[in-house]
Structure 1
Amino acid sequence: MEELSLLSNNTPSINMSDYERPPISREGPIFPEYIKIVSTLFCSLVLVVGVIGNILVPLVIFKNRDMRNSTNYFLINLSLADLLVLLICLPSVLVELHTPPDTWVLGHAMCKLVPYVEVSVVHASALSLVVISLERYHVICRPLQAGYRCTKSRAITAVFIIWILALLSASPLLVLSEYQVIRFLDGTLNPNCITVMETLWSKCYFVSITVLFFFVPLLLLIGIYTVISRQLLIDTYDLTHNQDNPQMKARRQVVVMLATVVLFFFLCLMPMKVFYLWILAVPTETVATLGLEAFFNLLYFCRVMHYINSSINPILYNMTSTKFRTSFLKVFTRKRGNLHREDTYSNTSYNNQTVTNKIRLQYSTSYSMVYKTVCSETHVSHQNSYKSTGSSSSQITKQSFLTSRYDCPSATESFV
């Protein structure tokens, strides 16, 4: 009788130790070659795209001062979590694809580390998405609650708490993951890494973390974004009567970006979670009736979808956020000498003297409307600078800065 277990990367498999090995191979059951080729191509593409994209996200945020806000700190946390998966867990899948099935060649330490990191990152990502969405909810639906404000220091504290909870919740895997050397009926010895689901408490543990860190956040986030969407529609009608209002467009864009990230997170992880629960719910004989080829097809489809989640977020940021897209392009174009801030307006007359007027606003076009009315009273200070050029004419630059008399939250702390 087959023994049901989780193989290596904490993904379901059937332990083949009770199978008579096919006479054509002493290394184990035959692994379909097309699954190996297709999975290797997809995993390699996901690895390259994901590593580059998730390195660029914190680079772009730290190079742009107006993007250093609490929401983007959570996005940096997501990128670092995805990098852990891509650099630790995904390479182990590529190794498994090119070794015999039911064989773990990466040693005892990696047998413990890979499933632990993978599950910890999933939990940390789910909690981060919930916290980000709650912060958006307070900004958009409860703007007058001045007592709540997710500052940068609070965001960093929240990130630490998220990781403590994630690491603790995944810690039982350090015990459940077992590195063994198994002797098969044909006499071969194979190192094996499994997470056995034999006891009642281990089954309850897997069901519990799936419910608490996947399905509960899913339902909670659906509710949050439903309320946020309704509030945005009300604000658009009652406050502006204008669909093209820049404040409302910016608020909607941020919500669309975050909602898209949430959607793809759950879509990519859903196949693996459902596969887990199906393995736990049905008898072992039912799993065995799939056959090896069908089983490996399901297994590696779930794995590829799982790892796509770790590489797709930077792509989603570029597709849904104008600010992210512009900042990503700046990293590649490197034409910084002629670029000004988004809130800088220049009027130039082309004669012997060039006059440039720059107005820097304390709030940007993506600012909350409620705070904008509070911060509307300003005073003007003038700064004149005279810069000599290489020609006989001189360039005169006059800058006017509008600064607020009130200690209002900056625009960068409200929107991505």
Structure 2
Amino acid sequence: MFNLNNITNEYDIEQWTLFLEKVIGNNTGWIQILTAAVLIIIFIVGFIGNFLTCTVIYCDKKMHTITNHYIFNMAATDLLVSFGISLEVYLCITDSYLFGNIACKIHCFFVVLLWNNSILVMTTLAIERYFAIWYPLSSKYVPSMKRARKIITVIWIISICETIPELWTVELVKTEKMSYCFIVPSSLARVISGVLALVTFVIPLTIMLFVYIMIALKVNNSEKSNSRRTIFNHKNNRRKVNKLVVAITISFLICWLPFFCNRLLFFFCDMQQLMQLDRIWDINYRTLLINSWFSIILNPIIFSLMSSKFRNSLLKLWRTKFKRRPETIYL
């Protein structure tokens, strides 16, 4: 156990490094192998799901809708971020970060940027569906490809602005046994963690909960259908809408609640208090790691595979493209 009486409330890189080595770097081999195996499964399933999403939307002209414009952007983003799992797998096995501190910050920036982009796309899709359900006849809220592209551009700009502060929260901590690119409990990093917890979790979740509750009320209380103006390309069915609302909300909580709680932990606890949580720290770290990456699996399932139109398009693509055999023509 660390001598906490000798540790001040100020951030001490040496003490923090020794703490991380104790709670993360001394795991038994089977825990590291199990974590790496789960991450590999997430990568394979997530890559296939997002690749199929991008392929179907790109190849089928009937899928070139405004909604799918957003979904394609999110799937492509998840494809890019999925390659970051390879480094996480390597770290699970070796506990040794290959690159320097600058590379550590760039890697963190890239991964969190793509995560933030996916969260903002999910929030935007919820808002778009809200206007489509509540104001179906208003030309002011009629979506267009040009408008969708502008919104996606704005989403990327906001994502970058949200992610830049992350550069001041992570450092490469190294000892003779291990090296990790990890968040540090400095005063600035703690403030940034609190602000980002609000901006990247509380606000999007609040918006989605409000929007989906309003959508459920509207759909369940109305006898009129707006099937031609749906955002998620599902058939006009109240049960499907309700299931979709619940699925999106639960998936968001599953993927990002641990990450949010970790930010709050750093915001409310100083270094001394964090180090008193050494018994649960490794579980917290691995739960956060797996759940955050799990979003690349849930996104294509909820936004693509739950759509009957997408499944039919995928089946059609499989029959006409992948199983197509060259025909022999006799003259």
The TM-score bracket by the shorter chain reads 0.7 to 0.9
Structure 1 residues 278 and 196: CA distance shift in structure 2, 3 A: closer
How big is the shift at 1:286? 4.3
User: What's 2:73 paired with?
Assistant: 77
Higher strand fraction (1 or 2): 1
Asked if 1:97 corresponds to 2:92, the answer is yes
* Aligned-pair CA distance for 1:73: 0.8
> Cα offset for 1:93?
1.1
Cα distance in 1 for partners of 2:79, 2:199 equals 24
Report if the CA contact (8 A) 2:225-2:236 is conserved: no
CA contact (8 A) 1:4 1:15 kept: no
Out of 293, 305, 310, which is 2:291 matched to?
305
- Is 1:42 aligned to 2:38, yes or no? yes
How far residue 299 of structure 1 moved from its aligned partner, in angstroms, is 1.0
Partner of 1:15: 16
Task: Check the 8 A contact 1:35/1:297 in 2, yes or no.
Answer: no
- Distance in 1, matches of 2:178 and 2:191, equals 29
RMSD: 3.3
Query: 2:165 is matched with which residue?
Result: 172
**What's the counterpart of residue 146 of structure 1?**
139
Matching residue of 2:191: 204
Aligned positions, number? 309
Larger Rg: 1
Residue in structure 2 matched with residue 275 of structure 1 by the alignment: 262
Greater relative contact order, per chain length (Cα 8 Å cut-off, separation 6+): 2
State the 1:334 CA deviation: 3.4
Task: Determine if the alignment matches structure 1 residue 122 to structure 2 residue 110.
Answer: no
Measured against aligned partners, the alpha-carbon deviations of 1:328-365 in whole angstroms (never above 9, x if no partner) come to: 22333337999xxxxxxxxxxxxxxxxxxxxxxxxxxx
Name the structure 2 match of 1:324. Answer: 310
What amino acid does structure 1 have at the position aligned with 2:108? P
Is the Cα contact below 8 Å between 1:104 and 1:193 reproduced in 2?
Answer: yes
Are 1:70 and 1:155, in contact at CA under 8 Å, matched by a contact in 2?
Answer: yes
1:129·1:262 contact (CA, 8 Å) conserved in 2? no
Consecutive unaligned residues in structure 1, runs of 5 or more: 8-13, 22-27, 241-246, 339-389, 391-416
For the pair 1:195 / 2:196, whether they are aligned, the reply is: no
Would you say the 8 A contact 2:42–2:294 is kept in 1? yes
Aligned-partner Cα distance in 2 for 1:320–1:255: 13
Alpha carbons of structure 1 residues 143 and 107: separation in structure 2 relative to 1, 3 Å: same
CA distance in 2, matches of 1:4, 1:321: 52
Task: Specify the SS of the correspondent of 2:83.
Answer: helix
With normalisation by structure 1, the TM-score equals: 0.66
In structure 1, the partner of 2:247 is 260
Q: Which runs of 5+ in 2 are unaligned?
A: 227-232, 325-329
- Distance in 1 of aligned mates of 2:304 and 2:119: 21
Q: C-alpha separation between the residues in 2 aligned to 1:45 and 1:207? A: 32
Cα deviation for residue 298 of structure 1 reads 2.2
Q: CA deviation at 1:221?
A: 0.9
Give the Cα separation in 2 of the matches to 1:140 and 1:158.
19
User: Per-residue deviation at 1:119?
Assistant: 2.1
Separation in 1 of the partners of 2:66 and 2:295? 22
Tell me: CA distance 1:300–1:234, structure 2 relative to 1, closer, same or farther (3 Å). Answer: same
Retained in 1: the 8 A contact 2:248–2:302? yes
CA contact (8 A) 1:133 1:258 kept: no
TM-score, length basis structure 2? 0.81
Q: Residues 355-374 of structure 1 correspond to what in structure 2 (within 5 A)?
A: none
More helix by share: 2
How far the C-alpha of 1:193 sits from its partner, in A, is 3.1
Q: Could you report, residue by residue, the CA deviation over 1:50-74 in whole angstroms, capped at 9, with x for unpaired residues?
A: 1121111121012222221111111
Residues of 2 paired with 1:337 and 1:291: CA distance? 54
AA in 2 matched with 1:98? I
The structure 1 residue matched to 2:203, chosen from 212, 216, 225, is: 216
Letter in 1 for 2:221: I
Question: What SS does structure 2 have at the residue aligned with 1:197?
Answer: coil
Q: 1:405 is matched with which residue?
A: none
1:67 and 2:63 matched = yes
Please give the per-residue CA displacement for 1:266-299, whole angstroms capped at 9, x wherever unaligned: 321101211221243235444434446x422221
The aligned amino acid for 2:86 is P
